[in-house]
Amino acid sequence: MGLPVFPAQRTAADAAGSDPATLAAALMQSRQTILPRRLLAPGPDAKQFGMILGAAASAPDHGQLLPWRFVLVPQAGRARLADVFAGALLARDAQASPAEIAQSREKAHRAPLLMLAVVDADRDDAQIDLSERTVSAGCAIQNMLLMATALGFGSALTSGKALKSAGLRALFGLTDSEHALCFVSIGTACSRKPARLRPVPQDFVSSLCSDGNDRSANPSDFFYSL
């Protein structure tokens, strides 16, 4: 297999001949949310879908609990999901207009590949709490997004109030201990926005110093003061 083509800021030519770290950085930086309405066919083929699912399996998983799973929503299941979205909207707002109901239904039909990400709070080891399990699920999701990006696809995560609705829980057969985290959409990007400004390490890194939790220092200094 050749070098992957990252569709956004970096081109394959930029990445060609790069060392693994440069390649990894280019891949991560080129991932951006492409809203599901901008994700068109073709979606991943069977081999590509296998690679995307395989990427999830590389996520860190404390205790190897496999606390997360993904439920594919094929085209044949989209109408039932649309019913659930419309039902959840009407449960929240009985006065919702026909246009609002139609829009909620339409969301179920976006993107050629649609999956629900689910995490289980209780499966196996009770010592490993929901936050750890959710971190593992997030890693699995990000691995899938990055593989989709490497394969040249656009992707998005979406949430919304319907995730907690009784109708959605019933449709996806969630057990009492399972939580619907978000939908994962993957497809061919018909358009994309300019990349958003990313935070810099100074925005999210601090150092635990003797005099407190210092956020003002340059993170590159931290390493040398360890």
Q: Residue 52 CB, nearest distance to ligand FMN (Å)?
A: 17
**Closer Cβ to ligand FMN, 170 or 195, answer by number:** 195
**Closer Cβ to ligand FMN, 77 or 160, answer by number:** 160
Place of tokens 């990400």: 117
Pairing of strands 178-189, 113-120: antiparallel
32 binds ligand FMN (CB under 6 A): yes
199 binds ligand FMN (CB under 6 A): no
Place of tokens 């070098």: 3
- How many residues form the binding site for ligand FMN (CB under 6 A)? 9
| SS3 label, residue 156 | strand
Choices 120-128, 129-137, 155-163, 200-208 (CB under 6 A): range interacting with ligand FMN = 155-163
103 binds ligand FMN (CB under 6 A): no
Question: What distance in Å separates the CA atoms of residue 15 and residue 188, rounded to the nearest whole number?
Answer: 21
Among 29, 158, 206, 207, which residue interacts with ligand FMN (rule: CB under 6 A)? 158
Q: Residue 140 CB, nearest distance to ligand FMN (Å)?
A: 12
**Closer Cβ to ligand FMN, 161 or 221, answer by number:** 161
Closest C-alpha among 141, 142, 146, 144 to residue 27 = 146
Question: What distance in Å separates the CA atoms of residue 139 and residue 126, rounded to the nearest whole number?
Answer: 20
**Closer Cβ to ligand FMN, 110 or 123, answer by number:** 110
**Closer Cβ to ligand FMN, 32 or 48, answer by number:** 32
Question: What distance in Å separates the CA atoms of residue 88 and residue 82, rounded to the nearest whole number?
Answer: 10
What are the backbone dihedrals phi and psi of residue 209, each rounded to the nearest 5 degrees, phi first? -100, 170
Choices 79-87, 119-127, 154-162, 214-222 (CB under 6 A): range interacting with ligand FMN = 154-162
33 binds ligand FMN (CB under 6 A): yes
Choices 68-76, 106-114, 151-159, 172-180 (CB under 6 A): range interacting with ligand FMN = 151-159
Contact call for residues 152 and 5 (beta carbons, < 8 A): yes
Place of tokens 């951006």: 32
Question: What distance in Å separates the CA atoms of residue 89 and residue 111, rounded to the nearest whole number?
Answer: 21
Question: What distance in Å separates the CA atoms of residue 86 and residue 3, rounded to the nearest whole number?
Answer: 43
Positions touching ligand FMN (CB under 6 A) are 32-33, 35, 157-160, 182, 196
